Structure 1
Amino acid sequence: MTHPEAGLAANSVAQRVIDAMAASEAVRAAVAHAALLGIRINVAVVDAGGNLAGFLRMPGAFLHSIDIAIDKAYTAASFGLPTSQWHAALQQHSAAVRDGIVRRPRFVGFGGGLPIVEAGQRLGGIGVSGGSEEQDEACAQAGLAAIGLSS
């Protein structure tokens, strides 16, 4: 059976994801911005399913920041919310939600992760770790700007 309007199988939906070249361009632009700031970062791009699509590590960047960058990208892609906005967002929820969600594996609730959205469609996320939260987010913004997007 197919959906009449899309010609798709009834049991599936089409989902757009970030292209490999765009992921590569975004991580390179984030690293270039970090160099301007004088910091060393790890930067990751994941697709809409949370799968790693691009990654760069600057020599000397913190080793723990490798996983943090990937998890920031994953968190931003999975919820469609910049990771810097989680503190405020959680204030609207019960204590159980506030306590429980931050204990989830791969969840990051501090700045440096941005969803990648094009024409209202979430394509993935970009995560940066190695600087301050503000520096990480600025590098992530630079990555998005390089591919013609913003958060």
Structure 2
Amino acid sequence: MVQSITLDTAKELIDAAERKAEEIDNPMVIAVTNSEGNLVAQRRMDGAWLASVSISRNKAYTSAALDMPTHELAEPSEPGNSLYGLQSTDEGRMVIFGGGYPLFDDEGNVVGAFGVSGGAVEQDMEVAEAGVDQWESIRGDAHVEASD
């Protein structure tokens, strides 16, 4: 049985990230996926780039698929390193720069993932981390549901 993030929780996480995006005055697209990388919720703030819709979703997908933040993929994906070419796999859905984070339950299992796009990589990461911080403050069995 796979545990996955609920829609209500996804909305709460997106709200937290949107507040951070407003604080830094940068419109973003914010996506939350389930444990399998399938979209649960996504929000495009007014003025956010159209390209960020798919980028944010793919950042979340990458984090869910590989159980790691996307910024940790940059160096291993450089020419000559073990994951070189990763970004061209999985129908181009793999993202190797910051803004994607897995969401873990108390046992260390991925229950969802977060992806943000719309600014410089550092801004994407800062906004995504606000959502992850919100997850850390509320996580627990009340915020995940079982799925087959």
Tell me the TM-score normalized by structure 2. Answer: 0.84
Partner of 1:6: none
Unaligned runs of 5+ in 1: 1-13
Larger relative strand fraction: 2
Tell me the TM-score normalized by structure 1. Answer: 0.83
- What are the residue-to-residue correspondences of 1:1-150 with 2, within 5 Å? 14-90=1-77, 93-94=81-82, 97-99=83-85, 101-104=86-89, 105-119=92-106, 120-148=108-136
- Please tell me whether Structure 1 or Structure 2 has the larger radius of gyration of its CA atoms: 1
Q: Secondary structure at the match of 1:148?
A: helix
Unaligned runs of 5+ in 2: 138-148
Identity across the alignment (%): 35
- The alignment covers a number of residue pairs equal to 134
Structure 1 residue ranges, 4+ long, deviating more than 3 angstroms after superposition: 89-94
Q: Supply the RMSD in Å over aligned alpha carbons.
A: 1.7
Higher relative contact order (CA 8 A, sep 6+): 2
Cα deviation digits, residues 75-127 of structure 1 (max 9, x gap): 01110111011022346844xx412x221221100010001112111011100
